[in-house]
Amino acid sequence: NAGVTQTPKFQVLKTGQSMTLQCAQDMNHEYMSWYRQDPGMGLRLIHYSVGAGITDQGEVPNGYNVSRSTTEDFPLRLLSAAPSQTSVYFCASSRVSGANVLTFGAGSRLTVL
Amino acid sequence: TQLLEQSPQFLSIQEGENLTVYCNSSSVFSSLQWYRQEPGEGPVLLVTVVTGGEVKKLKRLTFQFGDARKDSSLHITAAQPGDTGLYLCAGADTNAGKSTFGDGTTLTVKP
């Protein structure tokens, strides 16, 4: 089982460039979410989705867009990258029923110069 | 905004010692998870606690959920170098499908 797949694993951008981090899950999970992880700050929620066509903002949504056209995919878009968006990004999925146990991807390390 | 405070932030101990990590909040959570993360990888679930006062054991790890479902602890007995990693607690808002994470505890166990 692939679980949660994130691409790319590493990316370097210049300030102002745009890009999309891809996330796909094959577990038929209803919930998907994006977190960023910075040193000493744990994981902070960027955006999340409770199902196809439904998204909502998390704790730190500014500068990021998401869409959920299918159950499987939940891409994260950076519209105009800034150095403050240098971070490691994790996509996660979970089931509607149960205790919101998250299955994480391996992460995407983004550097904005 | 629900906040989770985790302590200590860093812990460096010798093999064989015991340790406890704490996760505290002023909010009530539907459930609470503990995850472990190794460098270059995503967090992996260790345990979920749901009921106030619940205690779960996973080999040398003991997890406890507070009676009021606002806090939790992770106790490791006779730590081993393989326990080294980042330990994260997360409070779940089950209806909203989202979780709030603590800042993590970086554990180093020296041989």
Chain A contacts of B1, Cβ < 8 Å?
A: 59
For residue B98, the model assigns a pLDDT of 83
Within its chain, how far is the Cα of B6 from the centroid? Answer: 8
For the segment A84-108, the average pLDDT, to the nearest whole number, is 91
Q: What is the pLDDT of residues B34-89, one digit of tens each?
A: 999 998 899 999 999 999 999 999 999 999 999 998 999 999 999 999 999 999 99
Task: Tell which wins on pLDDT, A41 or A36.
Answer: A36
Chain B contacts of A106, Cβ < 8 Å?
A: 40-42
For the segment A71-97, the average pLDDT, to the nearest whole number, is 94
Q: How far apart are CA B95 and CA A42, in angstroms?
A: 22
CB B69 within 8 A of CB B29: yes
Residue found by looking up tokens 């909040």 in the block:
B25
User: For testing the chain A interface, which of B99, B100, B106 should be mutated: the one with the most A CBs within 10 Å?
Assistant: B99
**B4 to chain A: closest CA residue:** A42
In angstroms, how far is the first alpha carbon of chain B from the final one? 40
Residue type, A89: Y
For the segment A66-70, the average pLDDT, to the nearest whole number, is 96
For the segment B14-31, the average pLDDT, to the nearest whole number, is 93
